Structure 1
Amino acid sequence: MLSVNITPSPSPHLLKPVPTFGNKEEEGNDDNLVLENEFGDLIAELRAVLGTSKGLASDDIDVKHIQNIMANYESKEAHWGKYALSDASKGYTRNGIVNINGNANLLILVWSPGKGSAIHDHANAHCCMKILKGELTESLYDMPDGEGEMKPRSVSTLQRDEVGYISDDIGLHKISNETSDFAVSLHLYTPPYASLYGCSMYESGTAKKHHLILWKLKDALDWPVQELKELKRISRSFKKIQ
């Protein structure tokens, strides 16, 4: 994952109990969200770039420009905290923020301590991830050409206010929170192909591929129990966008 660094503010931000936003475990469907703060300015800038009436394809996206827009925002929990809902029993919780005219989905993900995602692809789309709180570890994998244990080709850690980027041209990855506190990240998926066509996830021990089409599961019965539970949980979150 390629990263862009900006200087973080010196004061830490701690998650506090907040009212339910209403999009927990969903892709955001609110294309009219307006916030009177710097986080709202970030959303407005992304709308200006991605909110065209034309349906965008992967080749239409200026990834560097998107990364710079996200990097220029300095994270403050007062701006986004009410959207960062968490469930410690899950590896991570998806909170939909906004759908930008069908061209992009913006989400806040809250990562439980010591947990993370499965190895997955990005459905030929772009994913930019900004760390809003804490730190996250990315394990990057080559696309497997056969069965066998999947070993990362690189492991890196992103700190607060850093922005990373991943696409299928770079490889597969998994994200994990290896700390003892919750971490929070902002994700922009453009175009939102995964929510439309599904994505693929891989068993770490065998490299077996499972394509997830919204809430439908294929060939998942022989997965290890924990990985199967995670895939089923993710499938339920995709189902709710319909």
Structure 2
Amino acid sequence: MKRAASTAPSPARTKGSASSLRWRPGESSSWAAPEPIPALRPALLYSRCSPRVRPHARFLRAATQLLCSPPFRSVAFLRGEGAMITPQLDALVESLRAEFAGESRGKVVARLLADYASTESDWRSFAFHAPKSYTRNLVERNEHFELLILCWDEGQESPIHDHEGQDCWMGVLDGDIEEVRYDTPAEGWRGPLEPRASATFERGQVAFIRDDIALHLVRGHGGAKAVSLHLYAAPIDACSIYCPETGEISRRTLAYHSKRGELVTVQD
């Protein structure tokens, strides 16, 4: 009997030429940049089953792939208030619910996001691009966390912003995502904000940030299209944004482009 070959996680890498503003995983940094988490590929459970069980596991896997491929990928389960969610995404949400109900979060949460981002594609039913701005598409919102899919069209980027004191995880679903980090300016600061570091994350990699680490700006690497999965330790309805030229701070109310696969706004 042949044993299923194991696949080692591919090491994270930083794209582009080296510069004073670019960090690599493993390098020390005064602002404690977190190391990207490699894409994780969950083990094929049926490889440990007896020959009698394997065909059933293969059938279930094939059926799942079929239901998540066009034209079936829009098939979803109903869960509360008529909201629809696809099976793998629903499983992720339930796993996050269980994890946030306990004390431990960090590494397990990151692993859950990495497992999903590196292997699944049913998020596409919740991904909506718009030509003028990146979009915030709600997947799940409850008292413990908020899960969003952000879609980045060509040339789009977020402003420099904070996270209202919340823990924030970002997983890459499609394309490459560039994150540029800035030190939080001192109170009363007036002047340009200089980037402290930048890093690029690939599909299946997960980044982590909170306000005591840095402010950041997010965009598709090289201005290309990309899709990312964002998890906040509590829902965020507004945040502070920072002008890169003057350091001026303003408040921005956050809105959703879609909720659970249904458009709520229209952007030209």
- With over 3 angstroms needed to count, the CA separation of the structure-2 counterparts of 1:97 and 1:147, relative to structure 1, is same
Q: Which of residues 100, 112, 125 in structure 2 aligns to 1:69?
A: 112
Distance in structure 2 (CA, Å) of the matches to 1:131 and 1:49:
21
Is 2:95 the counterpart of 1:48? no
TM-score (norm 1): 0.69
Distance in structure 1 (CA, Å) of the matches to 2:83 and 2:256:
25
8 Å CA contact retained: 2:167, 2:210: yes
- 1:61 Cα deviation after fit: 6.1
Is 2:138 the counterpart of 1:96? yes
Distance in structure 1 (CA, Å) of the matches to 2:81 and 2:118:
22
For 1:4, give the aligned amino acid: I
Is 2:242 the counterpart of 1:191? no
For 1:199, give the aligned amino acid: C
- 1:181 Cα deviation after fit: 3.7
- 1:201 Cα deviation after fit: 0.4
- 1:176 Cα deviation after fit: 1.4
Question: What does 1:15-164 correspond to in 2, within 5 Å?
Answer: 35-37=86-88, 39-50=89-100, 62-75=105-118, 78-90=121-133, 92-99=134-141, 101-145=142-186, 146-164=189-207
Larger radius of gyration: 2
- 1:154 Cα deviation after fit: 0.4
Q: Which of residues 223, 241, 248 in structure 2 aligns to 1:201?
A: 241
TM-score (norm 2): 0.63
> What is the number of equivalent residue pairs in this alignment?
193
8 Å CA contact retained: 2:39, 2:203: no
Distance in structure 1 (CA, Å) of the matches to 2:129 and 2:84:
21
- 1:191 Cα deviation after fit: 1.6
Distance in structure 1 (CA, Å) of the matches to 2:161 and 2:132:
21
For 1:138, give the aligned amino acid: E
For 2:219, give the aligned amino acid: S
Contiguous gaps of at least 5 residues in structure 1: 10-15, 22-28, 53-59, 215-233
Distance in structure 2 (CA, Å) of the matches to 1:130 and 1:180:
18
| 2:94 alignment partner, SS class | helix
- With over 3 angstroms needed to count, the CA separation of the structure-2 counterparts of 1:132 and 1:235, relative to structure 1, is closer
Q: Deviations over 1:43-97 (max 9, x none)?
A: 2211112257xxxxxxx6622221122122244564111100110221x111101
